[in-house]
Chain A
Amino acid sequence: MTAPTVTSGTSHATVPNLARDDRARWLHPLAWWAWALGVAVAASMTTNPLLLLGLITCTAVVVDRRRSDAPWARSFGFFLRLALIVVAFRLVAQILFVAPMGTTVLLELPGITLPSWLAGIRLGGTLMLEPALHALYEGLRLAAIIVAVGAASSLASPHRLLKSIPAAVYEVGVSVVVATTFLPQLASDVARIRANRRLRGRTDSGLRGVGGTVMPVLHGAMDRSIALAAAMDSRGYGRSATVSRARSRLTATVFIVGLAAIAIGTYGVLGTGSVATWGAGILITGVVCVVVGVSLAGRRSLRTRYRPNTWHRPDVLTALAGGVVAATFVIASVQDPAGMNPSTSPPLWPTLPVLALIGLGAVLAPAYLTPPPPSVGPATDLDPATVDLAGRDES
Chain B
Amino acid sequence: MIEFDNVSIRYSPDAPYVVDKVNLTVAEGEFILVVGGTGSGKSTLLGAINGLVPHFTGGVLTGDVRIDGRSTSTNRPRDLADLVGVVPQDPMASFVTDTVEEELAYTMECLGIAPAVMRRRVEETLDLLGLQELRQRPLRTLSGGQRQRAAIGAVLTAHPRVLVLDEPTSALDPGAAEEVLAALHRLVHDLGVTVVLAEHRLERVLQYADRIIALSSPGGPITIGSPADVMSTAPIAPPVVHLGRVAGWSPTPITVRDARRQASTLRQLLVGHVPPVRVVEQSTVAATTDHLEIHYGTTRALRSVSTTLHRGEVIALMGRNGAGKSTMLHSLVGMTKPTGGSIDIAGVQPSDVDGPELIRRVGLVPQEPADLLEAPTVAEECAASDKDAGCDPGRTRALLALLAPEIVDTTHPRDLSEGQRLLLVLSLVLAARPGVICLDEPTRGLDYSTKERLAGVISDLSSAGHTVIVATHDVELAADVASRVIILADGEIVADGSTADVITSSPMFAPQVAKILAPQPWLTVDQVRQALAQDSA
Do A and B belong to a common assembly? yes
Residues of A within 8 A of B (CB): 1-4, 6, 15, 17-19, 70-72, 157, 159, 174, 178, 181, 192-193, 195-203, 212-213, 215-216, 219-220, 223-224, 227-239, 241, 302-308, 374-383, 386-387, 389-395
Tell me which of B82, B86, B137, B330 contacts A377 (CB under 8 A): B137
Which residue of B is nearest A195, CB measured? B335
A383 to B336 CA separation, bound complex (whole angstroms): 11
Tell me which of B55, B134, B359 contacts A199 (CB under 8 A): B359
Write the nearest CB–CB distance from B519 to chain A, whole angstroms: 33
Tell me which of A174, A239, A306 contacts B122 (CB under 8 A): A306
A381 to B79 CA separation, bound complex (whole angstroms): 41
Please, could you name 7 A-B residue pairs with CB atoms under 8 Å apart, sorted by A? A201-B354, A236-B107, A237-B110, A304-B118, A305-B115, A389-B327, A393-B324
A381 to B313 CA separation, bound complex (whole angstroms): 36
Q: Is B358 an interface residue (CB 8 A)?
A: yes
Write the nearest CB–CB distance from B490 to chain A, whole angstroms: 12
Write the nearest CB–CB distance from B72 to chain A, whole angstroms: 12
A72 to B92 CA separation, bound complex (whole angstroms): 18
A391 to B327 CA separation, bound complex (whole angstroms): 9
CB-CB under 8 A from B335, the residues of chain A are: 195-196, 198-199, 389
Which residue of B is nearest A225, CB measured? B93
A2 to B117 CA separation, bound complex (whole angstroms): 11
Most central of A3, A72, A231 by chain B CB within 10 Å? A231
| Per-residue interface assignment for chain B, residues 364 to 401, with 1 indicating a CB less than 8 Å from any chain A CB and 0 otherwise | 10111011111000000000110011000000000000
Within 8 A of A (CB), among B214-239: none
Write the nearest CB–CB distance from B232 to chain A, whole angstroms: 35
Known contacts A201-B354, A376-B136, A389-B335; is-contact A233 B52 (Cβ 8 Å): yes
Known contacts A233-B76, A393-B324; is-contact A198 B354 (Cβ 8 Å): yes
A304 to B107 CA separation, bound complex (whole angstroms): 10
Write the nearest CB–CB distance from B367 to chain A, whole angstroms: 5
Contact between B108 and A306, CB atoms less than 8 A apart:
yes
New contact pairs (17) apart from A382-B296, A390-B296, CB-CB < 8 Å: A2-B116, A6-B119, A70-B98, A159-B98, A196-B371, A198-B333, A198-B334, A198-B354, A201-B389, A201-B432, A219-B370, A220-B370, A236-B107, A238-B110, A302-B111, A376-B137, A393-B326
Contact between A216 and B374, CB atoms less than 8 A apart:
yes
Within 8 A of A (CB), among B118-147: 118-119, 122-123, 132-138, 140-144, 147
Contact between A236 and B370, CB atoms less than 8 A apart:
no
Q: Is B74 an interface residue (CB 8 A)?
A: no
Within 8 A of A (CB), among B302-336: 321-327, 330, 333-336
Write the nearest CB–CB distance from B353 to chain A, whole angstroms: 10
Number of chain B residues whose Cβ lies closer than 8 Å to a Cβ of chain A? 98
A212 to B355 CA separation, bound complex (whole angstroms): 15
A174 to B98 CA separation, bound complex (whole angstroms): 12
Contact between A234 and B385, CB atoms less than 8 A apart:
no
Which residue of A is nearest B57, CB measured? A230
Contact between B141 and A306, CB atoms less than 8 A apart:
no
Q: Is B97 an interface residue (CB 8 A)?
A: yes
Q: Is B356 an interface residue (CB 8 A)?
A: yes
Tell me which of B141, B334, B368 contacts A380 (CB under 8 A): B141
Contact between A230 and B81, CB atoms less than 8 A apart:
no
Contact between B88 and A227, CB atoms less than 8 A apart:
yes
Contact between B114 and A304, CB atoms less than 8 A apart:
yes
Contact between B102 and A159, CB atoms less than 8 A apart:
yes
Known contacts A2-B114, A200-B385; is-contact A212 B374 (Cβ 8 Å): yes
Contact between B96 and A389, CB atoms less than 8 A apart:
no
Contact between B297 and A393, CB atoms less than 8 A apart:
no
Q: Is B472 an interface residue (CB 8 A)?
A: no
Contact between A6 and B116, CB atoms less than 8 A apart:
yes
Write the nearest CB–CB distance from B46 to chain A, whole angstroms: 11
A196 to B368 CA separation, bound complex (whole angstroms): 10
CB-CB under 8 A from B27, the residues of chain A are: none
Known contacts A233-B77, A234-B86, A236-B82; is-contact A3 B363 (Cβ 8 Å): no
Tell me which of A193, A308, A377 contacts B134 (CB under 8 A): A377
Write the nearest CB–CB distance from B425 to chain A, whole angstroms: 9
Contact between B299 and A382, CB atoms less than 8 A apart:
yes
CB-CB under 8 A from B52, the residues of chain A are: 230, 233-234
Contact between A232 and B96, CB atoms less than 8 A apart:
yes
A305 to B122 CA separation, bound complex (whole angstroms): 13
Contact between A235 and B155, CB atoms less than 8 A apart:
yes
Which residue of B is nearest A174, CB measured? B96
Q: Is B99 an interface residue (CB 8 A)?
A: yes
CB-CB under 8 A from A18, the residues of chain B are: 135-136
Contact between B155 and A394, CB atoms less than 8 A apart:
no
Tell me which of A199, A306, A380 contacts B299 (CB under 8 A): A380
Tell me which of A201, A230, A308 contacts B359 (CB under 8 A): A201
Contact between B372 and A199, CB atoms less than 8 A apart:
yes
Q: Is B292 an interface residue (CB 8 A)?
A: no
Known contacts A198-B334, A201-B359; is-contact A235 B154 (Cβ 8 Å): yes
Contact between B326 and A306, CB atoms less than 8 A apart:
no
Contact between A376 and B113, CB atoms less than 8 A apart:
no
Which residue of B is nearest A70, CB measured? B138
Write the nearest CB–CB distance from B162 to chain A, whole angstroms: 12
Which residue of B is nearest A200, CB measured? B388
Known contacts A302-B111, A393-B322; is-contact A381 B298 (Cβ 8 Å): yes
Contact between B374 and A308, CB atoms less than 8 A apart:
no
CB-CB under 8 A from B354, the residues of chain A are: 198, 201, 203
CB-CB under 8 A from A213, the residues of chain B are: 374
A159 to B322 CA separation, bound complex (whole angstroms): 28
Tell me which of B84, B92, B110 contacts A239 (CB under 8 A): B110
Contact between B119 and A306, CB atoms less than 8 A apart:
yes
A256 to B90 CA separation, bound complex (whole angstroms): 43
A236 to B113 CA separation, bound complex (whole angstroms): 12
Contact between A196 and B114, CB atoms less than 8 A apart:
no
Within 8 A of A (CB), among B65-108: 76-82, 84-86, 88, 90, 92-94, 96-99, 102, 105-108
Q: Which 8 A-B residue pairs are closest in the complex by CB-CB distance?
A: A236-B81, A302-B112, A231-B94, A306-B105, A381-B297, A236-B110, A227-B93, A393-B326
Contact between B78 and A392, CB atoms less than 8 A apart:
no
Contact between B138 and A198, CB atoms less than 8 A apart:
no
Q: Is B158 an interface residue (CB 8 A)?
A: yes
Which residue of B is nearest A212, CB measured? B374
Contact between B88 and A4, CB atoms less than 8 A apart:
no
CB-CB under 8 A from A202, the residues of chain B are: 355, 388
A225 to B506 CA separation, bound complex (whole angstroms): 41
A225 to B441 CA separation, bound complex (whole angstroms): 24
A226 to B52 CA separation, bound complex (whole angstroms): 12
Contact between A306 and B118, CB atoms less than 8 A apart:
yes
Contact between B321 and A393, CB atoms less than 8 A apart:
yes
Tell me which of B78, B108, B371, B440 contacts A216 (CB under 8 A): B371
Tell me which of B50, B367, B384, B385 contacts A392 (CB under 8 A): B367
Known contacts A200-B388, A232-B96, A393-B326; is-contact A193 B371 (Cβ 8 Å): yes
CB-CB under 8 A from B92, the residues of chain A are: 395
Most central of A229, A304, A374, A382 by chain B CB within 10 Å? A304
CB-CB under 8 A from B137, the residues of chain A are: 376-377
Most central of A71, A201, A303, A378 by chain B CB within 10 Å? A201
Contact between B385 and A236, CB atoms less than 8 A apart:
no
Known contacts A233-B78, A376-B138, A395-B144; is-contact A1 B96 (Cβ 8 Å): no
Q: Is B500 an interface residue (CB 8 A)?
A: no
A192 to B97 CA separation, bound complex (whole angstroms): 23
CB-CB under 8 A from B88, the residues of chain A are: 227, 230-231
Contact between B56 and A233, CB atoms less than 8 A apart:
yes
Write the nearest CB–CB distance from A159 to chain B, whole angstroms: 5
Contact between A71 and B140, CB atoms less than 8 A apart:
yes
Contact between B94 and A227, CB atoms less than 8 A apart:
yes
Known contacts A304-B112, A389-B326; is-contact A231 B358 (Cβ 8 Å): no
